[in-house]
Structure 1
Amino acid sequence: MALPTNATSTWNQGLDLPSRIFGEGGGTDYELYEEDGEFVLSVDMPGFEREAIDLAWNDGVLNVAAEHVDDERGRKRTYHRRFRFPRDVDEDGIAATYRNGVLKVRLPIAEESTPHGKTIPIEE
């Protein structure tokens, strides 16, 4: 019995796992960074109406969910991601905008907040 000689003949042939699990682009539909004392989250969500996007903060986790029904094509499109932050956020200062298919959320870092977790050393 001969072993497969190329990667496309393996068990996962044609599955295209990253794009099927994470959507087109392999899960790079958002950008998250820290700037001027706040976290800034920018999420590409073209095709969704602002009113169809649900944004919720709960115990250090930002939940982004949206649903779009295309009656013409008989399709339903959903989006759902959860973002956990490494520092405390001032809940009252969270602000969001949605323009040109991009959701932008600004989350101010709470005063005197220290990073959560611990540093893990990487061995040679």
Structure 2
Amino acid sequence: MLPDRPANSWTQGLDFPSQLFATGSNDYELYEEDDEFVLSVEMPGFDPEEITVTWDDSILDVAAEREDETRGRRKTYHRRFRFPKSVEDEDITATYNNGILQVTLPVVTGTPTTGKEIPIQS
């Protein structure tokens, strides 16, 4: 007889965070408007001084770490975003409010999109 629980139910009895096995997390929104990229990342529970945002060679790196001493656990976040257009790296701004990190990346006007289109075969 097959189990009547979801396929990943074997993790329920173990002391693993469910996010460890989750796929397709939608904790961010990225869009382009008015010649700038806007990235919003949900990062509740972190203080601004625990978050680092770095830019290097068209890659934005967002990382955060905090120690939860009451539970004896460490909470971490790390994600990288690659951008297809040149960005004015001196004008990148970041704000953190109510658990949402928002990064604005102005696009260098007149620069072409990098990369190439991949043909789809049928």
Any gaps of 5 or more consecutive residues in structure 2?
13-17
The sequence identity of aligned pairs, in percent, is 50
Question: What CA distance in whole angstroms lies between the structure 2 residues aligned with 1:19 and 1:74?
Answer: 18
Structure-2 residue corresponding to 1:45: 43
Secondary structure at 1:48's aligned position in 2? coil
Contact 2:35 2:109 in 1 (8 A): no
By how many angstroms is 1:67 displaced? 0.5
Q: C-alpha root-mean-square deviation of aligned residues, in Å?
A: 2.5
By how many angstroms is 1:68 displaced? 1.1
Change (3 A) 1:94 1:7: farther
Structure-2 residue corresponding to 1:82: 80
Structure-1 residue corresponding to 2:117: 119
By how many angstroms is 1:28 displaced? 0.6
Structure-2 residue corresponding to 1:103: 101
Change (3 A) 1:72 1:66: same
Question: What CA distance in whole angstroms lies between the structure 2 residues aligned with 1:7 and 1:84?
Answer: 41
Aligned length in residues: 117
By how many angstroms is 1:85 displaced? 0.2
Question: What CA distance in whole angstroms lies between the structure 2 residues aligned with 1:13 and 1:123?
Answer: 38
From 30, 54, 57, the equivalent of 1:56 is: 54
Letter in 2 for 1:14: W
By how many angstroms is 1:14 displaced? 3.3
TM-score, with structure 1 as normaliser: 0.82
Any gaps of 5 or more consecutive residues in structure 1?
none
Question: What CA distance in whole angstroms lies between the structure 1 residues aligned with 2:119 and 2:5?
Answer: 36
TM-score, with structure 2 as normaliser: 0.83
Secondary structure at 2:10's aligned position in 1? coil
Secondary structure at 2:90's aligned position in 1? helix
Question: What CA distance in whole angstroms lies between the structure 1 residues aligned with 2:88 and 2:76?
Answer: 28
Letter in 2 for 1:119: E
Change (3 A) 1:15 1:98: same
Question: What CA distance in whole angstroms lies between the structure 2 residues aligned with 1:7 and 1:120?
Answer: 42
